[in-house]
Amino acid sequence: MSNEVKAIFEPKSVVLVGASDGIREGIVSPAFFHSLVHNMHRFEGKTYVVDLSGKLEGAIKNLNQVPKGRDLAVVVLPSKLVMKNWRNLLNLVMKAIVLVAGGFDQQQREELARGVAKRKVCILGPNATAGVINTSKGLCATLERGFMPSRGGIAVISQDSAVGMAILDWARFHGVGVGKFASTGDSVDVTEADLLEFLMHDEETKVICIYLQSVRDGRRFLGLIREAVKKKPVVVMKGGTAQDERDKIFAAYLKQVGAIRVDIVEELLGVADALAKQPPMPGDRVAVVTNADGAATLVADALSRKEFALAKLSDKVTKKITRKYQDINIVEWVDLGIGAKADRYKFVLEQVLSDHGVDGVVVMNELKLSFLEPEDVQAIAEVAEKSKDKPVVSVTMAVGAGVLVREAVKGKNIPVYDSPEKAVLALDALRSYWKTRTRVEKGV
């Protein structure tokens, strides 16, 4: 199925099918269809807009008028109209059909599945309301406007569309890059496992995030995660745990196959951002570099809760730093002083990263609302981007200042968090992935 699944993310041509009249409410309403058409304006391939009601200006009125052999169709029609046009859709499309609306009964679902069984066409959905995104191709087949995130190495699979949209919105708002996104909905054909199988081989994807509510064919799904983590990390968030007595068992399965589990959207993307931008963490020893002495206490607390240790810098490194900057104070952490500038951050971070007693670094950058100099933050990012075997994550605790800091390092490979806990959770995931990789390499 991989070739057809590929066409979901990388179609050369897309047909958008809707009916902008007659239906006023819900998923198939004209407002959503118009948003879809709008969202696709940056698509680099060919887009055909078909409005079966014939009302939308400039749109094609009939499926028969679209040249046959198109790669992908995104269909925003109620179940009844989908079934009525099913044969035409199948004749039109060569590879994949996204069914946005839900509400298909069992008989209709079977008919859908039968329709594609004989051909090399796959179905995403029905009820795949949040649609599909591939930022590097300008493909944005979603129903709400303004949800296109910036480019990045994170791929997101969401069974639920509203949760999927929330993930996209969070990513866009926080400047976290998402390369590919798909909502699977009711999965009469393509499942999250099929998408996982595609994404694990996808060069652009550095991290795979999955939001699940139920698992079909659990054994295959786990087997695929086990394969995927050999190449890239997989982060899983699961809904419906309160009603599930077996959740503890599911947690154990995920651990066994090397997936990283999180509980909330913020953690999902926070952790994924670090996994996409920084190397895995080879141990437990964390150096904290800060411009606010007191605030580092909170980092130390958060580290201790996740069973990290504060790294003890070697005499050599300590001397090198204090010889150059006599006022830098190194006890439990490295206190640069509140006015620390780019040169200081850069020099100290380089020294700290060169220390064999350090496995990873949390760098704090506080009190930036009044006097942020973008180059100070960019210096941190520069060092972090060069570090190939130890991760660097950054914290700016105030949310407002965090926005400024993130803006200054936009597109750079350093994750920025607004709390020590989130930064430490990111390190925890990087450490967990290092363990997984080590296990895989040892072949156990």
Partner 1 sequence: MGLAAEKGKVAEILNSTRKEGRRELMELESKRVLAAWGVPVNRTELARDISEAVKFAREVRYPIVLKIASPDIIHKSEAKGVRVGLSSELEIRQSFGDLIDNARAYKPDAKILGVTIQEYLPPAREVIVGALQDPSFGATVMFGLGGVWVEVLDDISFRLAPLSAEDAREMIQEIKGYPVLAGIRGTPPADVGALVDIIQKVGQLAHEFSEIAEMDLNPIFTFDDGKGAMVADARIILVESK
Contacting partner 1 (CB under 8 A), which of 216, 230, 305, 324? 216
List the interface residues with partner 1, window 79-138 (CB under 8 A). none
Residue 216 C-beta: closest distance to partner 1, Å: 7
Residue 333 C-beta: closest distance to partner 1, Å: 31
- Measured between alpha carbons, how far is 258 from 49 in angstroms, rounded to an integer? 43
- Measured between alpha carbons, how far is 409 from 63 in angstroms, rounded to an integer? 46
Is 253 a residue that touches partner 1 (CB under 8 A)? yes
The DSSP output letter for 63 is G
Beta strands in 241-397 (DSSP E): 260-262, 285-290, 309-310, 329-330, 334-335, 360-364, 392-395
Residue 207 C-beta: closest distance to partner 1, Å: 23
Residue 160 C-beta: closest distance to partner 1, Å: 18
Residue 91 C-beta: closest distance to partner 1, Å: 36
Residue 252 C-beta: closest distance to partner 1, Å: 4
Please report the DSSP string for 117-150 in residue order.
Answer: HTTT-EEE-SS-TT-EEEGGGTEEE-SSTT--PP
| Site of tokens 């959207």 | 265
| Nearest by Cα to 259 from 277, 244, 271, 246 | 271
Toward partner 1, which CB reaches closer, 117 or 444? Answer: 444
List the interface residues with partner 1, window 220-239 (CB under 8 A). 222
Please report the DSSP string for 307-331 in residue order.
Answer: T-EEPPPPHHHHHHHHHH-TT-EES
| Beta-bridge partners for 361 | 287, 392
Residue 352 C-beta: closest distance to partner 1, Å: 32
Toward partner 1, which CB reaches closer, 31 or 252? Answer: 252
Is 218 a residue that touches partner 1 (CB under 8 A)? yes
Contacting partner 1 (CB under 8 A), which of 252, 309, 338, 369? 252
Q: Which stretch binds partner 1 (CB under 8 A): 191-199, 232-240, 252-260, 296-304?
A: 252-260
Backbone angles phi, psi at 130, to 5 degrees: -80, -10
Contacting partner 1 (CB under 8 A), which of 24, 41, 118, 248? 248
For the beta sheet containing 93-99, the strands, ordered from the edge strand earlier in sequence to the opposite edge, are 46-51, 13-18, 70-76, 93-99, 122-124
Toward partner 1, which CB reaches closer, 212 or 393? Answer: 212
Is 305 a residue that touches partner 1 (CB under 8 A)? no
| Nearest by Cα to 360 from 439, 305, 279 | 279
Identity of residue 120: K
Contacts 24+ apart (CB under 8 A), 222-226: 222/253, 222/254, 222/256, 222/257, 223/257, 224/193, 224/196, 224/197, 224/200, 225/196, 225/254, 225/257, 225/258, 225/259, 226/257, 226/258
Toward partner 1, which CB reaches closer, 136 or 214? Answer: 214
Contacting partner 1 (CB under 8 A), which of 121, 215, 302, 311? 215
H or E element that contains 220: helix 218-228
Is 217 a residue that touches partner 1 (CB under 8 A)? yes
| Beta-bridge partners for 154 | 178, 207
* Cα torsion angle, 160, 140, 33, 89, sign: negative
Residue 259 C-beta: closest distance to partner 1, Å: 12
List the interface residues with partner 1, window 265-284 (CB under 8 A). none
Strands 132-134 and 13-18: unpaired
Toward partner 1, which CB reaches closer, 57 or 307? Answer: 307
Is 201 a residue that touches partner 1 (CB under 8 A)? no
- Measured between alpha carbons, how far is 398 from 295 in angstroms, rounded to an integer? 11
Residue 156 C-beta: closest distance to partner 1, Å: 23
Is 324 a residue that touches partner 1 (CB under 8 A)? no
List the interface residues with partner 1, window 163-192 (CB under 8 A). none
* Binding residues for partner 1, total number by CB under 8 A: 16
Q: Which stretch binds partner 1 (CB under 8 A): 84-92, 98-106, 195-203, 213-221?
A: 213-221
Is 219 a residue that touches partner 1 (CB under 8 A)? yes
Site of interaction with partner 1 (CB under 8 A) = 215-219, 222, 246, 248-250, 252-253, 256-257, 439, 444
